[in-house]
A and B are shown apart, each in its own frame.
Chain A
Amino acid sequence: MRISVDVDRCIGGGQCVLSAPELFDQSDDDGTVILLRQPSLSEEEDAQQAARVCPARAIALHDS
């Protein structure tokens, strides 16, 4: 699985960090999403949760 984030959509809600702190952070400035790295197999469920709860639909998951 590969994650892509759309900073233009992001509203800085931080829901992704709550779901998958190992994969996402927020910028100190405006709180928009920072993708830390791509998920390992065991982190894919967290990534799915993050994509699902994102209020701006700024996180997309792709088959790699």
Chain B
Amino acid sequence: MSTAPPHVAVVGAGVAGLTVMQELRRLGYAGRLTVVGAEPHLPYDRPVLSKQVLLGEWPVERAYLTTQGEWEALGIEEWHTEPAIELDAVRRVVRLRDGGTVEADAVVVASGCRPRIPGFAAGARGVRVLRSIDDCLRLRDALAEGPRVAVVGGGFLGLELASAARTMGAHVELVTRKPPLERVLPPELSAELRAMHEEQGTVVHCGFDVERLVAGAGDVDVLHLSNGEVIHAELVVAAVGVEPNLEWLRSSGLDISDGLECDDGGRVAAGIYCCGDVAHWWNPALGRRMRFEHRVPAVEQATVVARNLLGERASWTSLPFWWTDQAGGRLQGYGLTVSELEFTAHSGSIGERRFVGLYLDRGSVVGAVGFNSPKELRQARQLIGNL
């Protein structure tokens, strides 16, 4: 404990930032903690915002990661709810938007991501995004009106949104430039996922962009697609990816070209650490640097950062895990799951919608995906080489 920094500032109050603080306290850290969030909420969980909470199956309270009492028990000295705007990485001073500063012995960058705003949204009225708990509640209320919905984006979030909106009874049109989860799934699995969404009643427009969005009569927006098709919707939701919140590090001298570059222990520079969506993390097991926008890696990285803050030499080398629930199906992945890799079937069949497949890189298994096969996937995980 002798090497523990007397004052740790955590920038970001999502699951990564919270986990760093919880782990520090659990490991006996008795020093000062400051947290810089960007919202006036206790830390909350994001995966449920596009699932149970959006659907109204869960009260919003179930999304929070701590109770007020647990939060207070962390003994946080200062809780800022205005975002950081600058870091002096040498003196470890964080400047806040409200003019305040935080001077610490160690700074943890866990500032997360924000939704990318597509070009067609400029000047249009009310293109929605889903990232925050407030976004979720506004969207839930809007969906309860039973509108015609256009979802733009065929990634994890866009597909979950389309599925949730259909479940709530909305008429849903999904516009996606690439096939569903095209960056992750092989073509035959992506096609089956598309079929499931179509069976659920979503109209899928695949291969096209939204070129223009104009206001129609009343509350209706008119989306003009690149193939000339026209969609009318009362509610337009964009889910076209996220951008890391790293602009505040522009003058810090740190490498933010693709996330914030760190080693296998989340170390960025002397007294500077990072974890979560922003971290471009060196993974020795996978032999590459990677950034994950998934919940489980964020928590595992945060745990490692807490240990390293206390002077250990911990490393996050475990296999990243992700999951998604949509259109009545459950997809999960371990390791490196990118569609440009070679892909081979392991068990089950895609047509029967129970399937495990493996991703190969130069002959060795580097990742696995499960389609309605959680247990078989976990068992197949051990095939992933040297991990």
Binding site for B on A (CB under 8 A): 11-15, 17-18, 26-28, 30-32, 52-53, 55-57
Main secondary structure of the interface of A (DSSP, over half): loop
Q: How far is the CB of B26 from chain A (nearest CB, A)?
A: 9
Are B374 and A13 neighbours in the complex by a CB distance under 8 Å?
yes
Q: Give every chain A residue within 8 A of B296 (Cβ-Cβ).
A: 13, 15, 53, 55
CB-CB nearest 5 A-B residue pairs: A31-B374, A12-B374, A14-B378, A26-B375, A31-B375
Are B374 and A55 neighbours in the complex by a CB distance under 8 Å?
no
Binding site for A on B (CB under 8 A): 45, 47, 65, 295-296, 299-300, 303, 321, 323, 325, 330, 332, 373-375, 377-378, 381
A52-B303, A53-B300 as given contacts; A14 in contact with B45, CB under 8 Å: no
Q: Given the complex of chains A and B, what is the CA–CA distance between A56 and B252 in angstroms?
A: 36
- Name the residue of chain A whose CB is nearest to the CB of B370: A31
- Name the residue of chain A whose CB is nearest to the CB of B374: A31
- Name the residue of chain A whose CB is nearest to the CB of B300: A53
Are B323 and A28 neighbours in the complex by a CB distance under 8 Å?
no
Are A55 and B299 neighbours in the complex by a CB distance under 8 Å?
yes
Q: Given the complex of chains A and B, what is the CA–CA distance between A28 and B377 in angstroms?
A: 11
Are B378 and A55 neighbours in the complex by a CB distance under 8 Å?
no
Q: Given the complex of chains A and B, what is the CA–CA distance between A12 and B374 in angstroms?
A: 6
Q: Given the complex of chains A and B, what is the CA–CA distance between A14 and B303 in angstroms?
A: 19
Q: Given the complex of chains A and B, what is the CA–CA distance between A27 and B378 in angstroms?
A: 12
Of A11, A26, A52, A57, which one neighbours B325 at CB under 8 angstroms? A11
Are B299 and A14 neighbours in the complex by a CB distance under 8 Å?
no
CB-defined A-B contacts under 8 Å, sample of 9: A13-B332, A15-B296, A18-B378, A30-B374, A31-B377, A52-B299, A53-B300, A55-B321, A55-B323
Are B375 and A14 neighbours in the complex by a CB distance under 8 Å?
yes
Q: Give every chain B residue within 8 A of A56 (Cβ-Cβ).
A: 47
Are A15 and B321 neighbours in the complex by a CB distance under 8 Å?
yes
- Name the residue of chain A whose CB is nearest to the CB of B330: A12
Are A53 and B374 neighbours in the complex by a CB distance under 8 Å?
no
Q: How far is the CB of A28 from chain B (nearest CB, A)?
A: 6
- Name the residue of chain B whose CB is nearest to the CB of A26: B375
Q: Given the complex of chains A and B, what is the CA–CA distance between A18 and B303 in angstroms?
A: 17
Q: Give every chain A residue within 8 A of B332 (Cβ-Cβ).
A: 12-13
Are B378 and A26 neighbours in the complex by a CB distance under 8 Å?
yes
Q: Give every chain B residue within 8 A of A14 (Cβ-Cβ).
A: 374-375, 377-378
Q: Give every chain B residue within 8 A of A30 (Cβ-Cβ).
A: 330, 374
From B296, B330, B374, name the one whose CB has the most chain A CB atoms within 10 angstroms. Answer: B374
